[in-house]
Structure 1
Amino acid sequence: MHLTIDLTGRDVLVTGSEKSARQAVRRYQSSGANVYRLSTPEGVPGDGQLPERPFLVAVVDDGEAGWLPLVERCRDAGIPVAFEPAPGADGHVTLVGGGPGALDLLTVGAVDALRDADVVFYDRLAPYQELADLTSAELVDVGKQPGLHKVTQRDIEKLMVEAALLGKNVVRLKGGDPYVFGRGGEEVAACVAAGVPVRVISGVTSAISVPAAAGIPVTHREVSHMFTVVSGHAPLTEKEHTHLAGLGGTIVVLMGIGTLPQLAAGLRRAGMNSDMPMAVVERGYRPGQRTTIADLGTIETAATGCSNPAVLVIGEVVRVAEANRNHAEASAELSRLAASLLEA
């Protein structure tokens, strides 16, 4: 159960050891609460003045069993108790797949990792605009844009490792999935080389989710039983064009606007039919999402003005999406017609 409550100006007592409770304290402070601390079940010098009757008691699981009597007293007095999970071991890195940018496509594991983070290094394709609602950690923008890498990949890895070695819980929040053109393997290798514990939380890859947002299935029975995911950052070789054209199925290209002319021409030279349907899905799951549909022979003209972030889809599955869309529009029109006849 996830509850949202306004704690502005409310007295909240956070229990637990200093190390275990630090992130919970930061979270409640960021919510506007007046935060008080109790470090041991018996109370210790330095805990300071405690509220006579807190609005909420947040009990952090620090491994100390002695908090149970306090919990029982709070329940008897009608004071709400929230149980806070203990953060993981200090000084580790978690690579988190942020999905295509939609907050509701973050995994439970991603939300938990963000909650317990001390610092988050995020990309521009991750759902960064909502981060302040998900974590009280320090937020560091290390996002790359085409032709503009304000923080290099090596510098990102260095920042992650340095923060973890200082004892911080680090989240590297990436768009899509860390292991699908996300350079996650390089970042894991940098952590391993430095002796920093690291784990990976998979994300919803835009290779599947963004076409789905436009109603395009990457596979469909009796139409396509395979799909190939290609990076569009650099032009493909003639050999790669020939290989792709001969595979069949669906081709999904990530961030391929810049190389779209070379890709379309190369696939045509490799023997793919010019009437093969193709879609460009821009800004999937974001404001201004737009889908442009044409065929391999005309897509370069049709896609004039399209820009990244975008996903290209090449294959007969694009026709499936168009057929479904036309059917839905026809059904809606029939429903409107029937309603008007009934009113008459």
Structure 2
Amino acid sequence: MNILITGVHGPAGEALLAQFAETRHSHHRIIGVDTEPVDHPALHAAEQVPAASEADMIDRLSDLVRRHDVDVIIPTVQEELPVLARAARECRFYPARVVVPEPADVEVSCDRYRTMLLLEESWVPIPRFTRPEFHQDPATMVEAVGDHAVIQPRECRGPRRVREIHPGLMAESEWADVGENVLLQEFAPGQEFAPMVYLPPGDKPPTVVVVEKLRGGDAGAQEVQRLPADEHPEVGRIALGAARALGLRGPVDVSLRCLADGRPVVLSVNARFGAHSALAPEILDALLEDLTADLEPGLSPDLGCR
């Protein structure tokens, strides 16, 4: 297959390229694109493209699909997902398939507040959460999320800019600077996990791999390790439940942390490959198997990819 991967300079893109560099994937032709100049030994072609916020990004990708005879597009940049999902639904990349869920499901997963609401309705464990415009002062926000919280943009577009705050200690001027269109979550100080899920077409069983993020690391980098299937199985079950609650298909990257009492809760859900997919090669293998079947005459499984 001719496979175009976006965001190859980012952590998720680099994790995919590391897998395609392996001999067992050498029969695939990989085209890498990014907003920055691209160079990687796993790439057969490299192209620079506009950011998702630019009006000509879709036209540029469509041109590359035709020029390189692309069969499949695998996006790895969060803010690209809504744009690519809508363009794929409009057949802008036909006949190439795009590994992205339906536009409506992508929109929810890219809105962190709506994600929390839907997970709450589905009884998926989450931290307490709120939005600043619901509160007149820090005191009422303490009642909603506690005195140690995390604030981040509500939408996935642009830098994530996560920071910790202590609402009960905030001066009035600091409270005014919090702004709107952000999400506040109860701070979860415990173990951190990055489970990965693949939800296949039809009634095929899903694939779930749990990765633990470790404290420390050289130069501030965070170390990670893949966990055996029988270690923290509840984390995998919660991640799978979150992906299903949002109606997602294909690869899903989930972020979980444990609250002070040890309960794991979902912090975010991304409808794409994550930064640690090289630790879960069976997820890419499962996707490629389904895509290969989809490209064979007479077979068209619903991958959730348009």
Same fold by TM-score, threshold 0.5 exceeded? no
TM-score (norm 2): 0.35
Which structure exhibits the higher relative contact order, with contacts defined as CA atoms closer than 8 Å and separated by 6 or more residues?
A: 2
TM-score (norm 1): 0.32
**Considering only CA atoms, is the larger Rg found in Structure 1 or Structure 2?**
1
